[in-house]
Structure 1
Amino acid sequence: MSGALIVVAEWPKNDREVVRVVLDEYNGHPLVNARLWFRGDGGEMRPGKGLSVGIRHLPALAEAFSRALAIATEQGLIKEGAN
């Protein structure tokens, strides 16, 4: 990856925060990072709580979220067109 941050997706969580998913690197190790970002006092976006795991865990993470989506949809928890 050669140190390049790749923003995969970003969407608003609420008026103050966004969820950002990125491919990143730390000490030469590739990571997938899903994190809340919030606007700091100076107006800049700052990282908050989130999850960073080695890229090798991405297939298991994707499968887990895919299953969660399927179950939530099956249970009627996901409304069409809702974010």
Structure 2
Amino acid sequence: MSAAPTVIAEWPKNERETVRVALDEFNGHSTVNARLWFRAADGEMRPGKGLAIGIRHLPALAAALNEALAVAIERGLIQGDSAN
């Protein structure tokens, strides 16, 4: 993998923050990174709180998120076709 992260998806959380999911590398290890980014006073986007885990955990994370989506839809918390 190259040194630069590969952004998979991003969407606005609110007026100040963006959620970004990326494949990245840390200390020579491939990672999946889900993180909030914010616009700093100088106008640059900066990373904030988030989760970075080894790529080997990606299948379990994806399965857990899919299950959370199914339960949220079942409980009527979100629409089944909701993208946000």
The normalised TM-score by structure 2 is 0.93
**Superposition misfits of 4+ residues, deviation over 6 angstroms:** none
Q: Distance in 2 between the 1:14 and 1:2 partners?
A: 30
Query: Relative to structure 2, which stretch is displaced further, 49-58 or 3-12?
Result: 3-12
Identity %: 70
Aligned partner of 1:44 in structure 2 is 44
Aligned partner of 1:78 in structure 2 is 78
Alpha carbons of structure 1 residues 4 and 43: separation in structure 2 relative to 1, 3 Å: closer
Q: Distance in 2 between the 1:31 and 1:54 partners?
A: 4
Cα RMSD after superposing both structures: 1.2
Aligned length: 83
Q: Distance in 2 between the 1:29 and 1:2 partners?
A: 11
Which structure 2 residue ranges, 5 or more long, are not aligned? Answer: none
**1:78 partner amino acid:** I
**1:19 partner amino acid:** V
